Amino acid sequence: MADRPGFRRQYDAGLHLLDRQIVGRDGLPVAKVDDLELRVRADGRLAVSALLVGPGALGPRVGGRLGRWTVSIWRRLRPDADPPTGRVDATLVTGTDSAVHVTATTEELGLDGFERWVRRYVVEPIPGSGHDGS
């Protein structure tokens, strides 16, 4: 039986965590790590508090006109006026290897990962985009 993924002694956040695939408890992909949330502790130290996912996290990282466009379109397509950025609490992470493993599933997390977002709002509205079993 393969070893369960654990944690490294150190992480270079950009190299080892950003853009990694998040994998749910069911083994299915959840989203990519688009940014990290760092909590400023009372003593001034910065602690990892969450993985941030989806256009609300990726857009600012891309920056420029494309990044602003990404965030703007995402906000317009969301029902709430000020949608929160997708967030996976750090306490849910069980380990890392080439991916980041979490205890929850995509449905439990209720995330709007960029790929799911593109599929739902860009690809699926295109006529003929669905699977045709016949």
Partner 1 sequence: MTAADREGARTEGARRLNDLLGAVVVLADGRQVGHVNDVRLAGGPHLQYYLVDGIIVGRRAEGSLLGYDRREVHGPWLVRVLVGWANRGAGYVPWRAVRQIDWEGARVVVDRVDPLEDGHAAL
Q: Rule CB under 8 A: which residues touch partner 1? A: 7-15, 18, 35-41, 45-50, 52, 57, 60-61, 84-93, 104, 108-111
Indicate the residue type of 85: T
Nearer to partner 1, 45 or 131 (CB): 45
**Rounded Cα gap, residues 110 and 83, in angstroms:** 13
Rounded to a whole number of angstroms, the minimum distance from the CB of residue 121 to partner 1 is 19
Nearer to partner 1, 47 or 118 (CB): 47
Rounded to a whole number of angstroms, the minimum distance from the CB of residue 130 to partner 1 is 27
What Rg value do the Cα atoms of the chain yield, rounded?
16
What lies within 8 Å, CB to CB, of 57 at 6+ separation is 34, 35, 85, 86
